[in-house]
A = this chain, B = another copy of it.
Amino acid sequence: MFTPRTPRIVAARRLQRRRDRDQSGRFLAEGPQAVREALAAGAVLELFGTPAALERHADLAAQAPELSPVTDDALAALAETVHPQGLVAVCEQNDVPIGEALAKNPRLVAVVAEIRDPGNAGTVLRTADAAGAGMVVFAGDAVDPYNGKCVRSSAGSLFHVDVVRSPLGVVELLQDSGLQVLATSGTGEDDVDSLLDGGQLALPTAWLFGSEAHGLPADLLSAADRRVRVPIYGGAESLNLAAAAAVCLYASARAQR
């Protein structure tokens, strides 16, 4: 049984660092839900599990191309959460070139631009998937989509949609593919409810989301077709990113039904 000092565990553990993920093209997915989605997507290279977890999740163990029982200590070394539920998989990164994703003509796209908080980026990915988006772009100096916290926040959606990593300047490419590009901004000239009323959201749409602290970079704001705000009806100054993204993406989903 593998221990924390077994070379394969030591090597897998390095995937907690971005540099090692970038170099190897691999990443870690932990917990039964993420492992199930990774297996379904054919992304798992090796599954590590405690004997108890491998017995409890025999269906998952049976699907793994390579299976390695590990000690509780070794599992804890691989896992980033306090309750990893006994399973960690080494997966192959599955992002696709932007051209390949756009060739499928997605009608709903989310772009996280320079969002460095992994929990926020993963949540937008999950929400975009739920709203029916086909493609999520991590643009510019955004968090690594394979960051452990981003993978966990995405709750499996990392394996459902086309994930793209791109430079910041993607607006023209999106527009050339027939998508209207809507930049979210607290001071946008349009509000999402008016666009929904006006039928504008039925068009194929890419939504741009910036970081909570800084919003979107000025050149993305000006390159977009419209700058759109979520209306604030009460005393709050703004919404948090997850909430704003949910309102925008679901407004599009509603219009595109």
A contact residues vs B (CB 8 Å cutoff): 33, 123, 126-133, 153, 155-157, 160-161, 193, 196, 230-240, 242-247, 250, 253-254, 257
A244 shortest CB reach to chain B, Å: 8
Q: Looking at the assembled complex, report how far the CB atom of A241 sits from the nearest CB atom of chain B, in whole angstroms.
A: 9
A160 with B235: CB separation less than 8 A: yes
Q: Is the CB of A238 within 8 A of B130?
A: yes
* B130 x A239 contact (CB < 8 A): yes
Cα–Cα distance between A247 and B253 once the two chains are bound (Å): 11
> Is the CB–CB distance between A239 and B246 below 8 Å?
yes
Task: Report chain B residues within 8 Å CB of A235.
Answer: 129, 156-157, 160-161
Contact B123 A236 (CB under 8 A): no
Residue of B nearest to A160 (CB): B235
User: How far does the alpha carbon of A132 sit from the alpha carbon of B240 in the complex, in Å?
Assistant: 15
In the bound complex, residues from chain B placing their C-beta under 8 Å from that of A233 are: 130-132, 253
Shortest distance between the CB of A193 and any CB in chain B (Å): 5
Asked if A156 and B246 sit within 8 Å, CB to CB, the answer is: no
A127 near B243: Cβ-Cβ < 8 Å:
yes
- A244 surroundings in chain B (CB, below 8 A): 246
Flag if A234 contacts B160 (CB, 8 Å). Answer: yes
- Asked whether, in the complex, the Cβ of A240 is within 8 Å of the Cβ of B161, the reply is no
Contacts of A231 in B (CB 8 A): 253
Among B129, B238, B250, the residue within 8 A (CB) of A247 is B250
